[in-house]
Structure 1
Amino acid sequence: MNGDQNWQNEYPFTSRWHEADGHRYHFISEGAGDQTILAVHGNPTWSFYWRNAVQRFRDTHRVVAVDHIGCGLSDKPQDYDYCLETHAANLGRLIEAEDLRRITLLAHDWGGAIGLLALTKHVDRFERIILLNTAAFPPPYVPWRIGVLRCPVLGSFAIRGLNAFAGPAVTMAMSRQSLSPAARAGLLAPYKNWADRVAIDGFVRDIPMSPSHRTWRSLENLEAALPGLSHLPAMFVWGMKDWCFRPECMDRLQKSMPHAQTVPIDDAGHYVMEDAPEQVLGAIDQFLNREVPVS
């Protein structure tokens, strides 16, 4: 059986839906209990990226994994404000609608900034922070592979028409091993054509290259807010072979959150959850089993 046929066997979850700006916002919610893990994906993945974490922790936690508008199984409107603030607002409204509490934020890539921005507006609902290869500040650099995809017209044609972002990512975001056929097919399944890739392009356009870009200020303000989260236990799990969110991104985050535990995985790449699943899940398991100090 090839990957296109069996990726759904790795994602045996019930779809749920929330309304966001008149669009269907897809999420899964597995398990129960008074503690929640809120898993927030980046670009160009979707809730499928968290499938192993969902199955590992749903016996002890409620695990909620979202698909941003334009991503995964959510609606993909072609005329939509695909930006950090909008994604974070959608996530915040889901947190309120589902009345999520005692939340551990589990976030990767753009999901870090989206999740942390939502967290800053709902701090009392959160209990822990786990970040995987992400950033929460204006980019100190933009890798040339991504920079060229920001070229007007041609960049969008490459991302949406030639699948030049999501397609290469299933190879380039790995380091120690290759994705299985099922994992490769699952990560790419929602992004089959021009219309499907609208948010992937939107995320790339939302990378601020200068202070004049609206998301620069959002990220600047987010970084300034991070020291105020020192009461929340935090952990950074990092694939150190990531050529995009390089180790210096982890170092910069730790300057704002010096209390955070770091778990570097020397030979893993950007898709650290795929590249080193047992190490990542083991680190999360240990972290979740620590007692949270009473504030």
Structure 2
Amino acid sequence: MSLTEAEFLYPDYDFAPHWFEHGGVRQHYLDEGEGSPLLMLHGNPTWSYMWRDLVRDLRSDHRCIVPDHIGMGRSDRPDESVYTYTASSRLADLERLVQHLVAERGLPARGWTLIGHDWGGIIGMAWARRRPEWLARIVILNSAAFPMPTGYRLPWYLRLIRGGGRPPAWLVHRTNTFALAASRLGSASPLPPPVRRAYVDPYRDRHRRLAVLRFIQDIPLTSADPAWPLIDVGLVESPQLAALPMLVCWGGRDRVFDHHFLAEWLRRFPSAEVHLFPRAGHFVHEDARHEVTARLREFLGRPTEGQR
């Protein structure tokens, strides 16, 4: 099911839509600006709208590629007989999209900057580990890309939904509770009502929420889980990936990705540049949007090893 143009008239989101079709399913993405490519990947239950401020600020010097995962944002909502809503499918979607952009839309096969948040970090880093030679930099906002850190326990409400119990799973699929909660609890400071509406609206009908539920149910905890291959990456990163410049912008009041995850990022990437925003929540890009944009712009302005 496709969504109409009029359904996406939200604050600061006046970008031209682009579409990539594969297997009869259309994936929406933004393609703004010129210059070295930035790949911005959202998580659950957000969509490309979350990156609007970065796109508007950075498109003068960079080409911003911002996809909506299938079943989210402006992308199609196929039936599960057509599309498998798993993290592995998202990784395959990303690889196909990038290959299309390189082959058909003139983007380079080198010099990409990956920017990931929430599930976007998991999916993006799985792609990066397969294609480290394509990357110039990595930027991480409250996210993960490895098994649950020692001492961490998934919040009870996510455990209930993930377990498939009828009441919690029913609430996520039959009502818009999860997206509504994220729009209010994801940020430490209240979002303006029009911005909250923009986050929630793509999931306002039941048939538009399947991806939201499946993302929660796909959270990998053990080697038996379908998404486990995306995070089963060993104790250390490859030297090629670990050598890349990395920027971490972290909201200290995140209810899910807490200090355990930040510590693991630093253990794996000890040379990463870290900016902790102690008063920001999971939506660090909203709570500290001006600071995050400034840090990212400065980070992108530095020459990489290949540019020196």
- Structure 1 length normalisation: TM-score? 0.93
- CA-to-partner distance for each residue in 1:216-254, whole Å, 9 max, x for gaps? 233112765455402211011000110100021011011
The residue type equivalent to 1:62 in the other structure is R
Q: Is the 8 A contact 1:237 1:265 kept in 2?
A: yes
* Partner secondary structure for residue 10 of structure 2: helix
Partner of 1:272: 284
Tell me the number of residue pairs that the alignment of Structure 1 and Structure 2 aligns: 290
Q: Using the TM superposition, give the Cα deviation of residue 84 of structure 1 relative to its aligned residue in structure 2, in angstroms.
A: 1.5
Quote the Cα distance in structure 2 between the aligned partners of 1:137 and 1:227. Answer: 16
Specify the alignment match of 2:93 in structure 1: 90
- Give the 3-state SS of the residue equivalent to 1:248 in structure 2: helix
With over 3 angstroms needed to count, the CA separation of the structure-2 counterparts of 1:232 and 1:238, relative to structure 1, is same
Per the alignment, residue 184 of structure 2 pairs with 171
Counterpart mapping for 1:1-295 below 5 A: 8-33=10-35, 35-79=36-80, 80-99=83-102, 100-101=107-108, 102-140=111-149, 141-152=153-164, 153-175=166-188, 177-221=189-233, 224-225=236-237, 228-294=240-306
The CA distance in 1 between the partners of 2:235 and 2:179, in whole Å, is 28
CA distance in 2, matches of 1:247, 1:148: 23
Distance 1:223 1:16, change over 3 A: farther
Q: Does the 8 A contact of 1:25 with 1:75 survive in 2?
A: yes
Q: AA paired with 2:28?
A: H
For the residue of structure 2 that corresponds to 1:209, the secondary structure is: coil
Q: 1:143 to 1:20 in 2, by over 3 A?
A: farther
SS at match of 2:184: helix
Taking structure 2 as the reference length, what is the TM-score of the superposition? 0.89
Superposed CA deviations along residues 240-284 of structure 1, whole A, max 9, x for unmatched, are 110100021011011111111111001000011111100110110
Structure 1 139/219 Cα, relative in aligned 2: closer, same or farther at 3 Å? Answer: same
AA partner of residue 145 (structure 1): Y
Q: CA deviation at 1:184?
A: 0.5
Q: Structure 1 vs Structure 2: percent identity of aligned residues? A: 33
Q: Contact (CA 8 Å) 2:27, 2:69: kept in 1 or not?
A: yes
Secondary structure, aligned partner of 1:28: strand
Partners of 1:66 and 1:248 in 2: CA distance: 28
Matched residue type, 2:124: G
Cα offsets for 1:138-194 (capped at 9, x unmatched): 23421112112224233321101122211111111111x111112101111211111
* Range with bigger deviation, 70-79 or 6-15: 6-15
Please tell me the root mean square deviation across aligned C-alpha atoms, in Å.
1.9
Contact (CA 8 Å) 2:222, 2:228: kept in 1 or not? yes
Match of 2:3 in 1: none
Q: What secondary structure sits across from 1:63 in the alignment?
A: strand
TM-superposed CA distance for 1:136, in Å, is 0.6
- Partner secondary structure for residue 136 of structure 2: strand
Q: Which runs of 5+ in 2 are unaligned?
A: 1-5
The 8 Å contact of residues 226 and 256 in structure 1, kept in 2 or not, is answered as: no
Q: Secondary structure at the match of 2:128?
A: helix
Maintained 8 Å contact 2:132/2:240: no
1-structure distance, mates of 2:125, 2:92? 11
